[in-house]
Amino acid sequence: MDLKVYTTKWCRDCKVAKQFLAEHNIPYTEIDMETTPGAADELHANVGKHAVPQFVIDGKWVQPYVPGKGFKFEEMSELLGVKK
């Protein structure tokens, strides 16, 4: 599986997403929106906004959280094959 995670350093939901991935030993490539040239444009072109975090799983864009409600633990566990 190829996983890219679009983040920013100040984003609380990004920290939760990266912690979830680390806890389950899921490898990923982090793309920092503030330091990676063109990342913001790529994100906007694919999801229509600059909201982070965003996962790109084998080329498919997925928003791993619900704004104001947090990370989708169950849905992401199933999608990423995390065993309970």
User: Is it the case that residue 84 has pLDDT exceeding 80?
Assistant: no
pLDDT computed for residue 10 by the predictor = 95
Set out the domains of the chain in order of their start, with CATH numbers.
3-80 (3.40.30.10)
Task: Return d(Cα 10, Cα 71) in angstroms, integer.
Answer: 16
User: Is it the case that residue 2 has pLDDT exceeding 80?
Assistant: yes
Contact by Cβ (8 Å): 57, 79: yes
pTM of the model: 0.92
Write the CB contacts of 4 (distance below 8 Å, at least 6 apart in sequence). 28, 29, 30, 31, 55, 56
Question: Tokens for 24?
Answer: 């389950």
pLDDT tens-digit series, residues 9-37: 999 999 999 999 999 999 999 999 999 99
